[in-house]
Amino acid sequence: MNILFDINHPVDVNFFKNAILILQSQGNNIHIIFRERGKLEKILRYELGQFPITMIGKHKHGFVKKISSQLHRDYKIITYIKKNKIDLIACFGGTSAISSWYCRKPYLAFDDDFEYKIPFYHANWFSTRHIYPDFIEFSNSKTFKYYGFKELAYLHPNYLKSSDRILKKYSILPDEYVFVREIANVSLNYQENNSILKELVNEIKKKGLKIILSLEDKNLKDNYIDDCIILEEPVSDIYSLLYYSLFAVSSGDTVARETALLGVPTIYTGGRTMVVNEALVAEGLMFESTNVKEIIAFMDTLTIDKKKKNRENSVNLIENKWENTTTVILKHISDFLK
């Protein structure tokens, strides 16, 4: 069977990677397309370079440009589907839903962002199945729900094997550093030198902890190069870096969920209210705030004992409550396999 995966964000690579490898081992032909965005192509070719990978379209800013570029991309995807005799399309979101619908091919839209309304409903309207965590209350005839998180497609213990070897590369020790993720255009990044991030970096330094900093906007690098170890993506074992950190601070919601699910005490500073994060907050695995004083006060409570309790809690929840998301992906795809 010819299966097409449409990749739009770096995290989509991780989301589908284990399913793609299993499907290939079962004799299926895998095709991958992506939309140019940041270092996505570099990450894709690093992680899944053994498969045919084709760039179709570019990521645009502004509503009108997004719509026009997406329609142009749909036209090109229609040609790709027909040329390669694609039988099934899977994507995190709805970016190839119209082209799949036009070609009358099954389209599986995975999702977890109900708050981002237009893409969510776009995926729902044109998909064959719309699959997402049951924390999202929206339902109709196309929806299929599972109990868990997209991040457990790659962070589930069945797939993730952490190792402290990566720490030697950065001259750090377990629980003696903090992982900080800063994405562009959100709460931490106000005015380069006059930002929340700068204040938090100073507070973390006062605790005698090293800082691993992942910056989406590399233009900010010079502001932090003297105080932080700044990552250059892709990192060979990023999840081990997350796993062994004492705690994490992230303005990106995906990294915040990743560290929380790994049992690392997590401070989410992105300012978005997301229903998919509520379970993590309720379980004490994630703390949400954009207030500097609140964040600093919470950081003062984060000890090795606190991390140990968080890890025990997350392991218990994954083993007894939340699903292996790769199994969910494979189940839905297998329903359409010939």
DSSP string, 107-136: EEEE---TTSHHHHHHHHHH-SEEEEETTS
Buried-state track 110-123, b at ≥16 Cβ within 10 A, e below 16: bbbbbeeeebbebb
The tokens for 38 are: 């940041």
pLDDT of residue 225: 94
DSSP state of 219: G
Distance between CA atoms of residues 53 and 32, nearest Å: 5
pTM of the model: 0.90
Structural domains of the chain in order of their starting residue, each with its CATH number? 2-147+323-334 (3.40.50.2000), 165-320 (3.40.50.2000)
**Count of CB atoms situated within 10 Å of the CB of 36:** 11
pLDDT of residue 39: 82
pLDDT of residue 265: 98
Confidence of residue 188 (pLDDT cuts 50, 70, 90): very low
For residue range 206-237, list pLDDT tens digits in order.
999 999 999 988 888 999 999 999 998 788 89
pLDDT(192) > 70: no
Q: Helix 325-334 to helix 10-25 angle, to the nearest 10 degrees?
A: 60
For residue range 23-44, list pLDDT tens digits in order.
999 999 999 999 887 788 998 9
pLDDT of residue 194: 40
210 in Cβ contact with 294 (< 8 Å): no
Number of H helices, E strands in the chain: 14, 13
248 in Cβ contact with 179 (< 8 Å): yes
Distance between CA atoms of residues 304 and 139, nearest Å: 41
Cis check: omega of the bond before 234, within 30 degrees of 0: yes
Mean pLDDT of the chain: 91
